[in-house]
């Protein structure tokens, strides 16, 4: 609705997983470096932890792209709501493994284990990127732990990266946590990161001159607590409100207004609890 008003070719804050709108601040750069270390040093299990909206899913997408295909094969799977059968089927599909028509879980498991073994003998590292592992069914967690304990070699290992919220780590189970060799905590943005992201996103969407004042950007960062998803949400609503009011520039008052309309996200459970004023 606001594209034409602000001279935008697309929505700058809607494509949460679009790599063009990925901001690699210091915390994202460090996290990516540690993920590469995990694979290069043949570690089996790594944990990528962050609060809801901190950018874990997008970081996995970027990491998958950076891995490339030379001597590596990766698969990115979202675990929310997936049954054991769906989990194994998604893994085999993402890895390009041929399976029987309407395969049973044990057939999927056998095909997956054989494929990982074949990769090992061909010196191809297998990298499994499993998003929202703390939302997975216990049976799926058991299958992940079983995968992590498959025989591997230093030259061509199986590496599993799991994303989760820090407060929900216990849902991964004792076996997986004991196997984890690296913990990566994804922190929120600093004020400069928020400002840089908003400016770059606007430019990427086709706007050559600033829309948000420097004061508005600082206020946006404070109200969003540096959480990327909240930054995008508030910025998007501010553009909509500004267009509706025929504003020339977004100031702090507009950020305040949309923040009050959106509601205050509580710290106890930022993903689900909203207190309306």
The 10s digit of each residue's pLDDT in 240-268 is 999 999 999 999 999 999 999 876 544 44
Average pLDDT in the 23-37 region? 90
Q: Tokens for 21?
A: 């709108």
| 26-185: CATH architecture | 3-Layer(aba) Sandwich (3.40)
CA–CA distance, 49 with 209 (Å, rounded to integer): 36
Structural contact between residues 181 and 187, judged by C-beta atoms closer than 8 angstroms: no
pLDDT above 90: percentage of residues in the chain = 74
Contacts (Cβ under 8 Å, ≥6 apart) of 197: 21, 23, 25, 189, 228, 231
pLDDT above 70: percentage of residues in the chain = 90
pLDDT, tens digit, 9 for 90 and up, residues 79-103: 999 999 999 999 999 999 998 888 9
In this prediction the pTM is 0.86
Band (151; pLDDT cuts 50, 70, 90): low
Band (26; pLDDT cuts 50, 70, 90): confident
Average pLDDT in the 208-213 region? 94
**In angstroms, what CA-CA distances link 71 with 43, 48, 96, 120, 156?**
16, 23, 15, 10, 8
Bridge partner list, 49: 164, 185
CA–CA distance, 259 with 76 (Å, rounded to integer): 34
CA–CA distance, 46 with 139 (Å, rounded to integer): 20
Q: Is 1.10.8.60 the CATH classification of the domain at 3-11+189-275?
A: yes
pLDDT, tens digit, 9 for 90 and up, residues 38-73: 999 989 999 999 999 999 999 999 999 899 777 899
Average pLDDT in the 155-181 region? 92
Q: What ranges do the domains of the chain cover?
A: 3-11+189-275, 26-185
Predicted pLDDT of residue 23:
79
Predicted pLDDT of residue 275:
31
């Amino acid at each position: 609705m606001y594209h034409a008003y602000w001279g935008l070719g697309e929505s700058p804050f809607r494509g949460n997983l679009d790599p063009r709108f990925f901001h690699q601040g210091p915390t994202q750069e460090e996290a990516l470096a540690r993920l590469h270390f995990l694979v290069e040093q043949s570690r089996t299990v790594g944990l990528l932890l962050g609060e809801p909206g901190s950018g874990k899913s997008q970081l996995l997408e970027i990491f998958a792209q950076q891995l490339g295909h030379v001597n590596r094969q990766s698969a990115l799977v979202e675990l929310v709501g997936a049954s054991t059968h769906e989990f194994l089927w998604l893994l085999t599909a993402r890895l390009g493994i041929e399976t029987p028509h309407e395969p049973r879980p044990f057939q999927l498991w056998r095909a997956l284990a054989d494929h990982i073994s074949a990769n090992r003998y061909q010196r191809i590292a297998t990298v499994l990127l499993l998003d929202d592992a703390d939302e997975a069914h216990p049976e799926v967690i058991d299958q992940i732990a079983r995968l992590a304990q498959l025989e591997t070699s230093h030259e061509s290992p199986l590496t599993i990266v799991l994303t989760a919220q820090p407060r929900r780590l216990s849902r991964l189970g004792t076996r997986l946590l004991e196997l984890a060799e690296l913990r990566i905590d994804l922190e929120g943005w600093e004020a400069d990161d928020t400002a840089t992201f908003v400016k770059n996103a606007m430019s990427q969407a086709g706007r050559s001159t600033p829309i948000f004042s420097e004061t508005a950007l600082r206020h946006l960062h404070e109200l969003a607590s540096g959480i990327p998803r909240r930054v995008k949400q508030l910025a998007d609503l501010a553009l909509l409100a500004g267009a509706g009011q025929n504003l020339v520039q977004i100031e702090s008052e507009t950020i305040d207004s949309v923040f009050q309309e959106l509601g205050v996200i509580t710290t106890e459970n930022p993903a689900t609890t909203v207190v309306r004023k």
